[in-house]
């Protein structure tokens, strides 16, 4: 059986998740984003399709705690996928600065960033992840620490 992977992005708004996906994961992964799909039912349908087809996909949502991530991890494991978390340290100041340059629906109210940061919990192996990778942003772009 061919292996496939489900990537779960974890980070507060403005942390760089979508840019990271665009730079590092496209076009190899089916892109699933609640921001783009605008409904949980459409998201669930696309995720189920990816699992049925054994198509590697990336879930680009905030997924700030284990409760939110349980929507994806158990189903992915049951389907036989390798499940990897990429998490972005919640640097509120930097996220607010990136958010300030956004327009339209992409921009979120500043208080949302602070609220999500206060509730953020990094992913852990007990949630079922096969690998956890921490992503930071430096002057040269993204830096990924594997095997966290």
Residue 2 — very low, low, confident or very high, per pLDDT cuts 50/70/90?
confident
Q: What is the pLDDT of residue 140?
A: 79
Residue 147 pLDDT greater than 90, yes or no: no
pLDDT in tens, 84-143: 999 999 999 999 999 999 999 889 999 999 999 999 999 999 999 999 999 999 877 999
β-sheet with 131-138: strand ranges across: 30-32, 57-59, 5-10, 82-88, 131-138, 141-145
Kindly state the percentage of the chain with pLDDT values over 70: 99
Packing angle, helices 92-100 and 110-119, rounded to 10: 150
pLDDT in tens, 74-97: 999 999 999 999 999 999 999 999
Considering the segment(s) 5-145 as one domain, its CATH architecture is 3-Layer(aba) Sandwich (3.40)
H or E element at residue 17: helix 17-20
What would the mean pLDDT of 11-23 be, rounded to a whole number? Answer: 96
Domain ranges of the chain: 5-145
């Amino acid at each position: 059986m061919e292996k496939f992977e489900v990537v779960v992005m974890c980070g507060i708004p403005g942390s760089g998740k979508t840019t990271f996906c665009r730079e590092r994961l496209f076009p190899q992964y089916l892109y699933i984003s609640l921001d783009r799909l605008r409904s949980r039912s459409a998201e669930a349908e696309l995720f189920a399709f990816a699992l049925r087809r054994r198509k590697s996909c990336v879930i680009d949502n905030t997924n700030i705690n284990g409760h939110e991530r349980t929507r994806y991890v158990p189903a992915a494991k049951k389907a036989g996928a390798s499940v990897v978390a990429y998490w972005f340290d919640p640097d509120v100041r930097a996220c607010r600065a990136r958010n300030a340059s956004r327009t339209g629906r992409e921009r979120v109210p500043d208080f949302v960033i602070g609220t999500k940061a206060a509730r953020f919990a990094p992913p852990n192996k007990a949630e079922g992840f096969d690998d956890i990778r921490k992503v930071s942003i430096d002057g040269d772009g993204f830096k990924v620490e594997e095997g966290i």
